[in-house]
Chains A and B, each alone.
Chain A
Amino acid sequence: MSLRRDVHSAFDQITPSMGGLPERVVQTVLSEGATRRRREKMLFRIRAPLSLVAVLLLIVLVAAVFVGGRIVQDWNALHKSSPAGQSNQSQLAELEARPLQLPVLKAATECNTGPWNSDGTVGSGPLSIYGGLGPRTSWGTYWNNVFYTDQQIAGPIVVRVRDVVNNVNVVFVGKYAAGPVVGTDTLNGTRVQQHAELVLYANNAALVTVNPPSKPHAFVWGFTVGVPNDSTGSTGWQVDGMGFSEVFLSC
């Protein structure tokens, strides 16, 4: 017995008569064809209204994006107004016009960090500062610092920093950085502009209150300061606000 005959025999044994299967198949196809035609007719009928609905939805979407954008913009303007948008531009101009009162040192060895305060941070008040080392780039070294105060602040506060030995500019990047753009750098893969000063307001302080030293503060501003490679690392900080001027050294 050949394999072909074996296979025929084996499968004929389990293949029952078709019992009208071809007719059933044909009926199924014909029925499907009719259903399909009905569906196509229905689709044709609703195609035009659907297009209209799609266009209307698109218009509504564009309008929603526009209106939403305006709402977000207004909200930001109300709650996080940028320094440039503040009404007290004249106060800012006045503070920026104040001359720097930073000491001039002959060598970095003459620099002593201070004045220290009772919190163990630097600054005689009303602002105090602490921080830690941030990212390094080919341009220099960045520090992630925090200014804080427990006093009520009115108007802007302008912070300017210089190397007290060789007068090299120290810069600010990111949030609160303001004033003239003095350079650019790539920080954590992002191109950033370096600004000459930091401008703080009571209403743009962080909403959270953080330590040190393990107590909340009324106003807290986290910021990033950049010290170029050609700096001696001896920096003088001048903090000018309405009714006060504060100077401290960080070495």
Chain B
Amino acid sequence: MTEVHPASERSFTDLLAPLVQPAYRLACAMLHDAPAAEDVVQDASLIAWRKLSKLHDHSKLRAWFLGIVANECRNAKRRRWVSWVNLGLPSVLSVPSSEENSVKRADLRRALLQLGHDDRLVVVLYFYLDMPVADIALVVGASTDAARARLYRAIHRLRPGLAIEEALR
């Protein structure tokens, strides 16, 4: 990873640009709200810019930045809690069978929404951003074992009948 000089916006933005896409995907998956996700990414970028001097190991920039995004998602949810009240889909869906896959996807999103922030975060990072558990641990600020345990627990809550080995494929 290129050395980042805090005073140089250009070097920072060069490093930041490739991180915007995973950050945006993470925010969309966490918030289920594209405009809010974009706001979160913008805010997280500014926070990262201001606090960059505190990051001593720049090889961890990606995990550090996604950690800021995750934290901003949590804050965004707190700020917008009212709008989340009605976000879930109805418990019984009546749709044509041709849209069965769409319903399954909606069901999965709804199930993920019912997970707590921390559990949902590890699922999104592992299954959607395809990050290894060691990197997830850096994002959530926990040990690798703790991150793995949290992931297993989240999978169990998400799909109680699914074997962990099968889920991790």
Which residue numbers of A lie inside 8 Å of B, CB to CB? Answer: 2-4, 6-11, 13-16, 18, 21-22, 24-26, 28-30, 32-33, 36
Q: Is A3 touching B29 in the complex (CB atoms < 8 A)?
A: no
**B-to-A contact residues, CB < 8 Å:** 9-10, 12-13, 16-18, 20-21, 24-25, 28-29, 32, 34, 38, 41-42, 45-46, 49-50, 101-102, 104-106, 108-109, 112, 123-124, 127-128, 130, 155, 158-159, 162, 166-167, 169
Q: Which residue of B lies closest to A9 (CB)?
A: B105
> Is there contact, CB below 8 Å, between B104 and A6?
yes
Task: Report the minimal beta-carbon distance from B49 to chain A, rounded to whole angstroms.
Answer: 5
Contacts of A16 in B (CB 8 A): 28, 34
Shortest Cβ distance from residue B100 to the other chain A in the assembled complex, whole angstroms:
12
Flag if A33 contacts B49 (CB, 8 Å). Answer: yes
Once the chains bind, are B16 and A15 in contact (CB under 8 Å)? Answer: no
Contacts of A32 in B (CB 8 A): 46, 49
B42 to chain A, nearest CB (A): 6
Measured in the bound complex, the distance between the Cα atoms of B16 and A15 in whole Å is 20
Given A3-B167, A10-B109: A25 and B42 interface contact (C-beta under 8 Å): yes
Query: Are B16 and A29 touching (Cβ within 8 A)?
Result: yes
Please give, as numbers and ranges, the residues of chain A lying within 8 Å of B34 by CB-CB distance. Answer: 14-16
Q: Assess whether A15 is in contact with B17, with CB atoms less than 8 Å apart.
A: no
Main secondary structure of the interface of A (DSSP, over half): helix
Question: Which residues from chain A contact B41 at a C-beta distance below 8 Å?
Answer: 21, 25
Which residue from B16, B49, B130, B155 sits with its C-beta under 8 Å from A3?
B155
> A28, B42: Cβ atoms under 8 Å?
yes
- Residues in A with CB closer than 8 Å to B45 are 25, 28-29
B residues near A25, Cβ cutoff 8 Å? 16-17, 20, 41-42, 45
Tell which of A7, A24, A28 touches B127, judged by Cβ atoms closer than 8 Å: A7
Q: Would you call A29 and B9 a contact (CB within 8 A)?
A: yes
Q: Are the CB atoms of B105 and A13 closer together than 8 Å?
A: yes
